[in-house]
Amino acid sequence: MARRSYKIDLGCIACDELTEIGAGKSGWLVDNPNLLCAIDTHSLALANRSSILLILSWSDSNASRVMIRPELSPIEAEFISAIEWFVLDDVSVVVAGTSCGYLLVFSLRGELIHRQMIYPGRVLKLRVRGTKKDLIQDTSSEEFCVIMPGVVARFDGSDIQNMLQKWFEEEYPQFWVQKPKSQDSEDFENQYVKLPYQLWNIGKYGTCADAALTGIMPPPLLENQSSQRYYCAVAVGEDAVISAYRLSEDKGRSLVGELLSKVVPAAFSTVASFSKLIWRSEQTSPKKSPKKSEEKPQPFARASPLTCFKDHPRKGEKLTLSPSGTLAAITDSLGRILLLDTQALVVVRLWKGYRDASCLFMEMLVNKDTTSSSSNHYEPVKSDYCLCLAIHAPRKGIIEIWQMRTGPRLRTIPCAKGSKMLQPTYRVGASTSSAPYVPLEVFFLNGDSGVISVLSRTLDS
């Protein structure tokens, strides 16, 4: 009886350029903490501290490999700290974050498209996420988030999309239909024009190791009539295993704060006047003028803490969001995995004994009768799939697939040592009603053999 295979091999990334990234010995892919990976549906990006290698098609051994060496500051000892793909309908670019808080956008030819300072500090992770309007979600949104220690920045997906379209129209006009310039297009005339973004401080309970925006949430009490958008952010870290915040687009105070400011006793005005006199006297002292080249950080918008879970010595390490943002899988330093309901902010499930584990959500077919129907042209729809959590336990050498939220373990798959679990990034503006549904898949890269495989989306392979 043939042994069942739950992984489908797609190609191999073996090439000479991998030695510049650090390949060449067993375990090179997982043993080096400075080695970063990001995957697209047919391409792979690998980065060390100073270089980025793009493998544009792992199924074709003759496909081009592009080595990118960004200009980094030697004085600040700047290095690449995060990478991610940003994929539009017909355009793919690679985004890198640096240890000095810069965002770098590169084309597949290695051309620098955009460079922007976000906030002084190390970029921990880059996240591309989108939600479509349906029966559950009232609104649709696409966003690009930059995660830093105690800080999160949010770019609207349309702003990045417009910037990329403008750049490609100017650099490669033969591939784009020329459109008359609108007034809005003038915003991107100059090179490296600063993209608008929102910035929040989520470090009230200590610096975070990972964070994510889970979606739009209702406004706070007494602000139900507000036209602002409020986002929910979930962070994990050393001081607080889990913390949650309500993020406002407004940089000012809340309505409650404004009301309190109106009823402050007049006696405090005397103290305020006295403090202003002292402040003015200090301002008259000679000070060193700042350099014009220094970029001032953008002011923080309002972030209100919602809840926090502390359990010393447990530390939150990594966070993974479900496609809808309603569930988050969190790994901690004690080998546990917590499943968090991001709307109720309650842990609904717990796994133990998974040290150094990584988690990714995926979708699997559960309606086998539908897929094996008499029609040969049947395409599975979204309702045919169920949400699952893939847990890679490298110490056990296995991958486990668990049905969400409280379902059983569906499958246990042996996994080679030195492998890494990856998932393609969200494709901005990709889905249309006529296109077949593309489920959330999980890929595996075996660093020692160079083979890339995908987990089967059916339960009975």
CATH code at position 158: 2.130.10.10
Tell whether 59 and 81 lie within a shared domain.
Answer: yes
Tell whether 455 and 318 lie within a shared domain.
Answer: no
Q: Is the pLDDT of residue 137 over 90?
A: no
pTM of the model: 0.84
43 assigned to some structural domain: yes
185 assigned to some structural domain: no
What's residue 376's pLDDT? 61
Tell whether 162 and 304 lie within a shared domain.
Answer: yes
Alpha helices by DSSP H, 45-203: 157-171
What is the C-alpha separation between 57 and 194, in angstroms, rounded?
Answer: 32
What's the number of domains the chain is made of?
A: 3
Tell whether 327 and 413 lie within a shared domain.
Answer: no
Tell whether 213 and 158 lie within a shared domain.
Answer: yes
Tell whether 145 and 246 lie within a shared domain.
Answer: yes
9 assigned to some structural domain: yes
What is each CA distance from 160 to 139, 152, 166, 196, 441, in whole angstroms? Answer: 20, 17, 10, 9, 25
Confidence tier at 7 by pLDDT (50, 70, 90): confident
Tell whether 51 and 5 lie within a shared domain.
Answer: no
pLDDT digit string (tens) for 141-198?
A: 789 999 999 999 999 999 999 999 899 888 877 555 544 444 344 444 445 689 999 9
Containing structural domain, residue 116: 34-123
451 assigned to some structural domain: yes
265 assigned to some structural domain: no
What is the C-alpha separation between 457 and 146, in angstroms, rounded?
Answer: 30
287 assigned to some structural domain: no
183 assigned to some structural domain: no
387 assigned to some structural domain: yes
Tell whether 63 and 159 lie within a shared domain.
Answer: no
Question: In this structure, how many other beta carbons lie within 10 angstroms of the beta carbon of residue 306?
Answer: 15
pLDDT digit string (tens) for 304-337?
A: 999 999 988 899 999 999 999 999 999 999 999 9
Tell whether 68 and 212 lie within a shared domain.
Answer: no
